[in-house]
Chains A and B, each alone.
Chain A
Amino acid sequence: MAEVLDVALRLAVIVIAFLTLPLIVGQTEHKAMAHMQSRLGPMYAGGFHGWAQLIADGVKFVQKEDIIPAAADRRVFALAPAVALVPYLVVMAVIPVGPGLVGADLDAGLFFALAVLGVGVLGSIMAGWSSANKYSVLGGMRSAAQLMAYELPLVLAASSVAMAAGTLSLPGIASAWQWWWLPWQAIGAVVFFVAGLAELRRPPFDMPIADSEIIMGPMTEYTGIRFALFLLSEYVGIVVLSALTTVLFLGGWQGPLLPGPVWTLLKVFALAFVVIWVRVSFPRLRADQLQKLAWVGLVPLALLQLALTGVVKVLLAA
């Protein structure tokens, strides 16, 4: 009985985190971006500085008509937002927030997380293909091409940390982390975070969405709640990427004075803020420029990091 209760409690916490953290990140984006652009952002919904803006948005999206284009592949079209969103929820289950505080402690947690993360992109490709819209097809193709660019550096950078810690378990990596890993794994951290931004299709790597070029790409034909699910998946994605970076490269819950989970959340939000900041500051790259960045820049850097990790590891063992 206690075991069932334990699992139920963990799942409940994950679902709550899944529902609230992205909204907090989204609201932070509204406000931080507004203030960086000398605006106020939402000020009315909910009374205090527009805190309920995203909830109001959600209510609006639910009420809107759900339009499926006549020429669309109906089932794929309807399924795509779920395919985009659910993988992130699943990944959240294996990310530890404190010692022992994890939805499911898998031995190969890192492997699991990266594998599942890749599925999310399928949603975008499915949406692009099934929409029967030329802009969407272009967006879907860009998504697929982008997948080729960032997946390798992402995995290479993550495997460097796994090598350093000698385990694939996410809680294992976080507890093995020591402060001097920060300079040691710095290159890997940057590569992982940049490749992660590309995975999320966030600026400056938002060419599959590119509202001024291909009009939101795969999402062109989506309305109402399905469109909202795509948006939500973007923000859950930010949370997941920030959390993974925290666990792998920033020591997860480790930190002085404050309790572990607080440290995890602080680091996650700091990274999420960087994601937002980057969006405000940078123009968009071109698809082929991302490919170049990935293959000429990120992959060699990730390999360098891998070699560095190996050498230090051998020297330490000797």
Chain B
Amino acid sequence: MTEPRTGAAGTERVVAVGAGAKELATEDMILNIGPQHPSTHGVLRLRLTVDGERITAAEPVVGYMHRGAEKLFEVRDYRQIIVLANRHDWLSAFANELGVVLAVERMLGMEVPVRAVWARTLLAELNRVLNHLMFLGSYPLELGAITPVFYAFRERETLQAVMEEISGGRMHYMFNRVGGLKEDLPYGWLGRVTEAVAEVRKRLPDLEELIYGNEIFLARTRGVGVLDRETIMQYGVSGPIARAAGVDLDLRRDEPYLAYGELPVQVVTRTAGDCHARFEVLLDQVKASLDLADACVERLRSLPPGPVNQRLPKVLKVPEGHTYAWTENPLGLNGYYLVSRGEKTPWRLKLRSASYNNVQVLREMLPGHLIADMVAILGSMFFVVGDIDK
């Protein structure tokens, strides 16, 4: 558009001058996206340098929601830590609890009852579906499609009902305990899980057909925000975002915890690494997780009755030592490095959250894109601000 064309007579002339043309002196503008901006899902701030609408530099500014979670862990006993730990990524509370209890159980050398292991696996997968459905609804919303979010929430509500029934919570389930689960499964609950899962599986195509193959959606997401393997490795990007770029890593398969070793975990990967591939991975992971949930229900049905937790001492002290427990959270790798000096509180509990690493890469991804693409990319990075700022 702005290139000088050679006319018929051989003289150079400028056909049109657009915004950001090199012939004109333009001034860069600093644009603050956030901390209060609808497409940051909270209080992430991006400091963009824009030339017209083209981004020349981007700097994620984090910390607006820092709550000092790691420091708070150090003055809480292990039961209280679970309450705190399920809060940073509020869309995957159950999965967050899991990392803490797995670390503590490993340090204690505690054997978790088999029913609890399978129930935990089931709840973790349902939690994953809930998390992904949220993004499957909110991402189209950011691109201007206002309807899919209602479909996504209808499915979420179906699953929330069973989660609420078992745990009493809708967001912060607090259902994990060191050594198992809080309570046994309610009577008839497994049947209701099967129904809910079948319902969601049946209605998922509604959401898929509404947005997935839409020409405008494709135009906005294909080839936009491509993330390559090299960058992913350097920034420690994980989860669906990494898998969308062909990084075939899923702890559920590669380093099985809970009951994943006995389950056929299907790892969804794509190679394109663009916004569309990330959305695709999320959608397919929902299907894969629904299948896993069904498999868990089947196994739980066949298990003989037994305990779902262990009797704990009144004051739970973890022996001296350290361990690192990591889990495949819905948004990526979630790691807890637990250092204990034999007290009832940890000496240090370092939290590695997926979103923190995943948003750092925005600095590399955004430059060169338009502001409109910035929203498409930001939405496809599937982050939770609490998970960034902790």
- Chain A residues within CB distance 8 Å of chain B: 33, 36-39, 134, 138, 141, 203-204, 206-207, 210-215, 279-289
Counting chain B CB atoms within 10 Å of each CB, which of A204, A213, A283, A287 scores highest?
Answer: A283
B195 located at the interface, meaning its Cβ lies under 8 Å from any Cβ of chain A in the complex: no
Inter-chain CA distance A288–B224, complex, in Å, is 14
For this complex, 19 residue pairs linking A to B, each with C-beta atoms less than 8 Å apart, are: A33-B146, A36-B147, A37-B151, A38-B154, A39-B150, A134-B29, A141-B19, A141-B52, A212-B38, A212-B141, A212-B142, A212-B144, A213-B374, A215-B37, A279-B146, A283-B217, A284-B143, A286-B370, A287-B53
Cβ distance A140 to chain B, nearest Cβ, rounded Å: 12
Query: Which one, B52, B142, B150, B219, contacts A285 given CB within 8 A?
Result: B219
B340 located at the interface, meaning its Cβ lies under 8 Å from any Cβ of chain A in the complex: no
B211 located at the interface, meaning its Cβ lies under 8 Å from any Cβ of chain A in the complex: yes
In the bound complex, residues from chain B placing their C-beta under 8 Å from that of A286 are 219-220, 370, 372-373
B17 located at the interface, meaning its Cβ lies under 8 Å from any Cβ of chain A in the complex: no
Main secondary structure of the interface of B (DSSP, over half): helix
CB nearest neighbor in A for B19: A141
Inter-chain CA distance A183–B212, complex, in Å, is 32
CB nearest neighbor in B for A214: B371
**Number of residues of chain B lying within 8 A (CB) of chain A:** 32
Inter-chain CA distance A259–B217, complex, in Å, is 43
Counting chain B CB atoms within 10 Å of each CB, which of A38, A141, A207 scores highest?
Answer: A38
Inter-chain CA distance A206–B216, complex, in Å, is 13
Query: Which one, B31, B53, B144, B210, contacts A284 given CB within 8 A?
Result: B144
Cβ distance B350 to chain A, nearest Cβ, rounded Å: 35
Instruction: Tell me if A280 and B219 are in contact (CB < 8 A).
Output: no
The 5 tightest CB contacts between A and B, nearest first, are A284-B144, A283-B145, A37-B150, A283-B143, A286-B372
Inter-chain CA distance A281–B140, complex, in Å, is 11
Inter-chain CA distance A221–B212, complex, in Å, is 34
Query: Which one, B39, B53, B144, contacts A283 given CB within 8 A?
Result: B144
B26 located at the interface, meaning its Cβ lies under 8 Å from any Cβ of chain A in the complex: no
Cβ distance B144 to chain A, nearest Cβ, rounded Å: 3
Instruction: Tell me if B216 and A285 are in contact (CB < 8 A).
Output: yes
A285-B219, A286-B372 are known; give 7 further A-B pairs, CB within 8 A.
Answer: A38-B154, A39-B150, A138-B371, A204-B216, A210-B372, A211-B38, A213-B374
Instruction: Tell me if B38 and A215 are in contact (CB < 8 A).
Output: yes
